[in-house]
Every structure is written in C-alpha cells, then in structure tokens.
C-alpha cells in the first residue's frame, strides 16, 4: 500500500474488554443506573482490596480529595504542604476549602515532594501534608509518616496515579491516613470518571457520605436534615460496574505496563548509543519494578543541549505518529497562583523539571514494536536538535 503514515500512538488509552461492555449494558437495562447495588459492591470489593479499611467512591478524584480535606476538618486559616509538580487539582482543592497550599520543592530523582524539605515549611498553621505519587511512584512512606507524626499533621495522600503501587510489599491505600485515588480515563484503573477514598474508620466514612450528598444527615420517612454544606459527588452504578471489571484485569494490565517499561530502558539506551548520544542524560525514571505501577514513563529533555524547546520536540514526535504529554508544569507558574504571590523560583527544581519533563506513551494495549518506534523517533529528534 502507498499509505506510509504510521498509526498514531497516543500517550495513553484505556482498555475495556467485551465482558465490561456487556456488564455496562446490563446495568443500563436494569432500571437502576445511578448509585445503587453496583456501587455498594464496588466499595466492598475495594475495601477488601485495601485490607478491610473503609472505602467510599466519588464522582471524580478531585471531589475525592476535597472531601478528604473536609473529613480531616481542614479549612480557612489552615496550611497544607504539597508539591508543585502535580495535576492542578491537588492544590485547587486546598484552595477550594479555604486553606493555603504551601509548596515544597521536589526530589529530582523521584519528581515527588522532597521529604527532607518538609520540616522547614511547617508553621503553627500547618495541618496536613498532601504528597503526590507522580507516575505512580510512592514517596518513602516510612519517612512521610514519621514526619507527620513528629509535627502532628494529617496526611491526605494524592494517590490518584498510584492504584496498584506498593511500599515494602504493602499496597498504597492499605495503610496510612486518608488515601485518595482517581479513576479518570487516563489512570491505571478507570471508571471513565471517578475516585475513591480509603479512610481510617466508619465515622469518617459516614462523614464522607454526608459531604458526598448535600450534607444530608437523614432523609426518607423519618424526615430530612442537612447540617453541613455538601456537594453532589456520588459515583453511579454504570461507573462502578466498569471499576469492578477493571479491578479483575488490573494484574494483567500491570504486568504489561511493567514489561513495556523494561523495554523502554533497553531500547532508549540502544537508540541513544547508535545515534552517538550516549552522553545525553534523559533523567530516566528510577528502575523500580516492585513498587511502582508504571502509570507513566517520563523523561526530562536536556533543553540546555538542544536548539529547540519541548513544544518543538512534541510537534516533531507527533509528525512521526508519537503522542506525548506534559505532566506537569509547576503549579506555581499558573496565573491563579502567581496572582496569589507564588513564585516558581521558590521551588527551582520543580520549575526546571516542569519545563522539560515529557511523558512518552505507555498503556497496556501497546505492542513491543511501538516502544521501538518511539525510542527511535525520540533519538532521531534529539540528534537533529543537539547543539554540537
């Protein structure tokens, strides 16, 4: 055939099997489509998955994190320590409950919050730490909880990207304080949109249910009352049934992501070498094959050695049929945050990584030769723009 345009590889794509599609059709035909029996089953299954801790689901990860802050009683006048390298939802929810995000710089190796810099950011107003596990890689959980205990802080884990990740063999979410996950379409386990919160005890779960539905304390034949301001953040049965089926497939997704990540390390090294670029550092991820869920595979472009910016590299990769993403620019650079006085210079490592990080495609339905094509395309593009 004359058509030589390579098929486009997006940076991510969800997988749904026929069984999932059939299960959705069944819910649609059942006559009960919003929160009901499938949600209850999904929450119970997740609770079992997390070793028996209470779990409640919400309409999305953002609502999940906001409700986690409300359950922890965080609001006006409180400070929450977090990372500037995250999806903006992380700090937006802190603002939305009236609290103040305090940004601590990242560790350039993990790209997560630098735990060693937290103590210096703690004030008398600090109430919580909100770490993010970028690309699914957890922080040092022993150190995190030691810091929290020392300063008497709550921990609200933004584990949006870390479903299936572990720490010392224990699932993220199976221990700790409040742990929030997202089931948005790009995440390792998706319900299209959705999220869940792992809580400490049933009183907290009841409170989360109240915030999830308008602040209702009771409704039905015994009357109705509202005692706090809640939202409308429930997950539907249509979403929940997708989650139940995704959970069954998670081990196979996970194995595939891990194998593809392995291949990236091999093939990127080979391609750089054969293009005479073996001295170029792409700051590849930590080769952690036991604890991370490989939510993303990210490199950091050596912009000081290139005659172009990241956008140009992304454009040229797109022309080669390779989709990429930026996760994420430093939150402190956004207008909303600049207007509140935040400065990207205060967290210089986040500023640099946020300007040069690049997400390469990684999702379970990729084939091995996709990885080869991406690595070759990347090396070719870097060679073209290398300054000497």
Ligand X SMILES: *Cc1c(COP(=O)(O)O)cnc(C)c1O
- Strand bridging mode 79-82 / 126-130: parallel
The single residue among 12, 35, 47, 62 that binds ligand X, judged by CB under 6 A, is 62
H or E segment at 357? strand 357-360
Chain centroid to CA 180: how far? 10
HSE (side-chain half, CA atoms, 13 Å) at 176 = 32
H or E segment at 130? strand 126-130
x/- mask, ligand X, residues 107-146, rule CB under 6 A, reads -------------------------x--------------
Asked whether position 90 contacts ligand X by CB under 6 A, the answer is: yes
Nearer to ligand X, 35 or 60 (CB): 60
What is the nearest approach in angstroms of ligand X to the Cβ of residue 386?
A: 32
> What phi, psi does 14 have (nearest 5°)?
-75, 155
How far, in Å, CA of 262 to CA of 83, rounded? 28
Using CB under 6 A, which of the segments 81-89, 169-177, 259-267, 268-276 binds ligand X? 81-89
How far, in Å, CA of 363 to CA of 254, rounded? 9
Tell me how many residues contact ligand X (CB under 6 A).
14
The single residue among 78, 158, 204, 370 that binds ligand X, judged by CB under 6 A, is 158
Nearer to ligand X, 92 or 270 (CB): 92
Using CB under 6 A, which of the segments 10-18, 59-67, 97-105, 112-120 binds ligand X? 59-67
What is the nearest approach in angstroms of ligand X to the Cβ of residue 321?
A: 25
Catalytic residue among 38, 117, 125, 187: 187
The structure tokens listed for 278 are 């073996």
Using CB under 6 A, which of the segments 44-52, 83-91, 138-146, 367-375 binds ligand X? 83-91
The structure tokens listed for 320 are 């080669």
Annotation marks residue 187 as catalytic: yes
Collect contacts of 253-258 with beta carbons under 8 A, ≥24 apart: 253/15, 253/188, 253/189, 253/364, 254/164, 254/188, 254/293, 254/294, 256/364, 256/366, 257/188, 257/293, 257/294, 257/295, 257/362, 257/363, 257/364, 258/289, 258/294
x/- mask, ligand X, residues 180-209, rule CB under 6 A, reads --x-x----------x--------------
Nearer to ligand X, 105 or 381 (CB): 105
User: What amino acid positions are annotated as catalytic residues?
Assistant: 187
> Under the rule (CB under 6 A), what is the footprint of ligand X?
60-62, 86-87, 89-90, 132, 158, 160-161, 182, 184, 195
């Amino acid at each position: 055939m004359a058509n030589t345009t390579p098929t486009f590889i997006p940076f991510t794509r969800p997988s749904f099997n026929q069984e999932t599609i059939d299960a959705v059709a069944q819910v649609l035909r059942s006559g009960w489509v919003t929160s009901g029996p499938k949600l209850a089953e999904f929450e119970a299954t997740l609770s079992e998955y997390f070793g028996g801790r209470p779990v409640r689901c919400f309409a999305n990860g953002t609502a999940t994190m906001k409700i986690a802050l409300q359950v922890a009683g965080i609001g006006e006048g409180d400070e929450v320590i977090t990372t500037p390298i995250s999806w903006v939802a992380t700090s937006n929810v802190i603002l939305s409950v009236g609290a103040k995000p305090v940004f601590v710089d990242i560790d350039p190796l993990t790209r997560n919050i630098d735990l060693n810099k937290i103590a210096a950011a703690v004030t008398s107003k600090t109430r919580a730490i909100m770490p993010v596990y970028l690309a699914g890689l957890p922080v040092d959980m022993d150190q995190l909880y030691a810091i929290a205990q020392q300063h008497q802080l709550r921990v609200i884990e933004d584990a949006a990207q870390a479903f299936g990740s572990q720490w010392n063999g224990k699932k993220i979410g199976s221990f700790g304080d409040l742990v929030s996950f997202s089931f948005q379409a790009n995440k390792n386990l998706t319900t299209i949109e959705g999220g869940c919160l792992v809580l400490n005890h049933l009183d907290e779960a009841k409170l989360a249910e109240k915030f999830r539905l308008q602040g209702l304390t009771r409704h039905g034949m015994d009357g109705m009352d509202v005692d706090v301001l809640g939202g409308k953040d429930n997950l539907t049965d249509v979403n929940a049934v997708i989650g139940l089926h995704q959970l069954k497939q998670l081990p196979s997704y996970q194995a595939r992501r891990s194998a593809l990540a392995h291949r990236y390390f091999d093939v990127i090294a080979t391609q750089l070498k054969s293009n005479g670029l073996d001295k170029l550092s792409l700051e590849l991820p930590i080769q952690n094959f036991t604890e991370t869920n490989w939510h993303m595979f990210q490199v950091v472009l050596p912009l000081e050695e290139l005659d172009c910016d990241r956008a140009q590299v992304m454009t040229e990769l797109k022309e080669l049929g390779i989709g990429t993403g930026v996760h994420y620019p430093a939150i402190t650079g956004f207008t909303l945050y600049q207007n509140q006085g935040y400065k990207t210079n205060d967290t210089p490592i986040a500023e640099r990584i946020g300007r040069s990080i690049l997400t390469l495609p990684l999702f379970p339905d990729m084939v091995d030769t996709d990885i080869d094509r991406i690595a070759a395309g990347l090396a070719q593009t870097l060679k073209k723009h290398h300054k000497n």
